[in-house]
Structure 1
Amino acid sequence: MNADQILMEIRETNLSYLMLAQSLIRADREQALFRLGMSEEAADMISMLSPAQVLKIASSNTLLCRMRVDDDLVWTLLTNHGKSGSSDVTRLHANILMAGRHQEAA
């Protein structure tokens, strides 16, 4: 993959992310804040963007979203999916840890 392809992928990801964020915020604000891991202020700004503004912001060469999982324990829980006896409880544990981090950030 060359640099131009990477930039194109970043722009497409940005557009998809902004459209998803707007949709989630408008449908269920509280759940969107949790799922997207963003502040009330960021949600307000994103929800008010016009389609032209979304396209302009998405065309940036900087990725707008980021991986929220930066904890080895959460990654271990998520990657153990499918191993014997660990599926539902493991995912639940990972979700609880991530929800706690969302509360700490808010």
Structure 2
Amino acid sequence: MNADQILSEIREANLSYLMLAQSLIRADREQALYRLGISEENAALIALLSPAQMMKIASGNTLLCKFRMDDDLVWSLLTNHGKAGAANDTTTRLHASILMAGRHQEAA
């Protein structure tokens, strides 16, 4: 993949992210804040973006979204699924979700 292809993929991901974020925010603001890991202020800004504004923002060369799993414990919980059965898989995913929700509350 060359540099132009990478930039094109970033722009496409940015536009998809903004469209999804706006849709989630308009449908259920509280759920969107949690799922997207953004502040109320950011949600308000995204909700008001016009299609032209989203296209302009998405056209940058920097990815707008980021991984929220920024520690070893959450990554371990998410990547070790299925090793000890379906019941354990559900429990570990729930544990990871609880950890990420707690971090969202700390950030808010």
User: Cα offset for 1:77?
Assistant: 0.3
User: Cα offset for 1:42?
Assistant: 0.3
Query: Match for residue 39 of structure 1?
Result: 39
CA deviations 1:13-69 (Å, max 9, x no partner) are: 000000000000000000000000000000000000000000110001111001111
Equivalent-residue separation in structure 1 for 2:19 and 2:68 (angstroms) = 19
Equivalent-residue separation in structure 1 for 2:84 and 2:41 (angstroms) = 42
User: Cα offset for 1:83?
Assistant: 1.1
User: Cα offset for 1:10?
Assistant: 0.2
Query: Match for residue 6 of structure 1?
Result: 6
Query: Match for residue 52 of structure 2?
Result: 52
Query: Match for residue 89 of structure 2?
Result: 87
Superposed CA RMSD: 0.6
Query: Match for residue 61 of structure 1?
Result: 61
Query: Share of identical aligned residues, percent?
Result: 79
Q: Which amino acid aligns with 1:21?
A: A
Structure 2 gap ranges (5+) = none
Trace 1:15-26 onto structure 2 (pairs within 5 A): 15-26=15-26
Equivalent-residue separation in structure 2 for 1:23 and 1:10 (angstroms) = 20
Query: Match for residue 105 of structure 1?
Result: 107
Aligned pair count reads: 106
After TM superposition, which residue ranges in structure 1, 4 or more long, deviate above 4 angstroms? none
Equivalent-residue separation in structure 2 for 1:33 and 1:92 (angstroms) = 18
Structure 1 gap ranges (5+) = none
TM-score of the aligned structures, taking structure 1 as reference length? 0.98
User: Cα offset for 1:84?
Assistant: 1.6
User: Cα offset for 1:82?
Assistant: 1.2
